[in-house]
A and B are shown apart, each in its own frame.
Chain A
Amino acid sequence: MQKIRLRLVNKIGELEKIHDALESLSDEWGLPPQLCMSINLGLEEAFTNIVNYAYRDDAQHIIEIDIALEGTRIVIEITDDGQPYDPTKADDPDIDLPAADRPVGGLGIFLIRKIMDAVQYKRTGNKNQLILTKTINQ
């Protein structure tokens, strides 16, 4: 099993580090570009959600992201110390509504669930842990 860990602070600008890390992994682990894009999207949506909604204070917080290659699966664990939030319980948006009736926003969590093969949530102590799994289809 190969694994990398990213330690990021709760700032949107850190998304660039996620993107750079995935570009390196694409080369090192030989991942298809389409898969890297999906992982990037899932990670961006999860990370952005944490930065925007998880914290009630203005302090700096650490968000840890572990990305592991386990056989034919990529397993991503995102850990934060924000308020408890289980994205697996979020309601899906109604994607059949016409444009005029579609609310703006609310697609982030939905996209994570659509893109990933599995999404699990755990609350341990004061930490949220989101586990995203994606199978590699070569």
Chain B
Amino acid sequence: MNLTQEKLNDHLLLQVVGRLDTTQSDSFEKQIMEILDQGHEKIILDCKGLNYISSSGLRIFLIMQKKMMGAGGQFKICGLQPSIKEIFDMSGFTMIFSIYQDVDEALKA
């Protein structure tokens, strides 16, 4: 798993690439918490390079959503691969996240 970040207009764009399994989730959570502590108002998480997620990764997505909502911010997810989207659907996550096709669509929303 690799996480990169860059400023894109008024958003912070995060890109996660690789596998988000239980062996990776601690490192991912630590990086995400540091980013959330910086107080960004609008975050896009681009998942087009994410090819595997388990419940330990989903857990961190939910924490992000709760923290961003609690702070009055916007958290947008985009680029979900069909297999990952299926896991989101199963978990009821499709309804609780703002999910977009790609970064451009997420930026405009």
Q: How many A-B residue pairs have CB under 8 A?
A: 64
Q: Which residues of B lie under 8 Å from residue A98 when comparing CB positions?
A: 96
The answer to whether A40 touches B66, judged by C-beta atoms less than 8 angstroms apart, is no
Chain A interface main SS type: helix
Mark out the residues of chain B between 14 and 59 whose CB falls within 8 Å of any chain A CB in the assembled complex.
19, 21-23, 52, 54-56, 58-59
Partner of A48 from B56, B65, B70 at Cβ < 8 Å: B56
The count of chain A contact residues (Cβ–Cβ below 8 Å) is 27
Chain B min CB distance to A117 (Å):
14
Complex alpha-carbon distance, A107 and B65, angstroms:
16
Mark out the residues of chain A between 36 and 82 whose CB falls within 8 Å of any chain B CB in the assembled complex.
37, 40-41, 44-45, 48
**A83-122 interface code vs B (CB 8 A; 1 in, 0 out):** 0000000000001111110101101101100110000000
The answer to whether B59 touches A44, judged by C-beta atoms less than 8 angstroms apart, is no
The answer to whether B90 touches A16, judged by C-beta atoms less than 8 angstroms apart, is no
Chain B interface main SS type: helix
Complex alpha-carbon distance, A45 and B66, angstroms:
23
Q: Which residues of A lie under 8 Å from residue B55 when comparing CB positions?
A: 45, 105, 107-108, 111
Q: Which residues of A lie under 8 Å from residue B52 when comparing CB positions?
A: 37, 40-41
The answer to whether A111 touches B90, judged by C-beta atoms less than 8 angstroms apart, is yes
Interface size, B (range): 20 to 34
Partner of A12 from B23, B92, B96 at Cβ < 8 Å: B23
Q: A40-B52, A41-B54 are in contact. Are A95 and B87 (CB under 8 A)?
A: no
- B3 CB–A CB distance under 8 Å: no
Q: A16-B23, A37-B52, A111-B55 are in contact. Are A104 and B92 (CB under 8 A)?
A: no
Q: Which residues of A lie under 8 Å from residue B96 when comparing CB positions?
A: 98-99, 102
Partner of B91 from A37, A48, A100, A107 at Cβ < 8 Å: A107
List the interface of chain B (C-beta within 8 A of A).
Answer: 19, 21-23, 52, 54-56, 58-59, 62-63, 65-66, 69-70, 83, 87, 90-92, 95-97
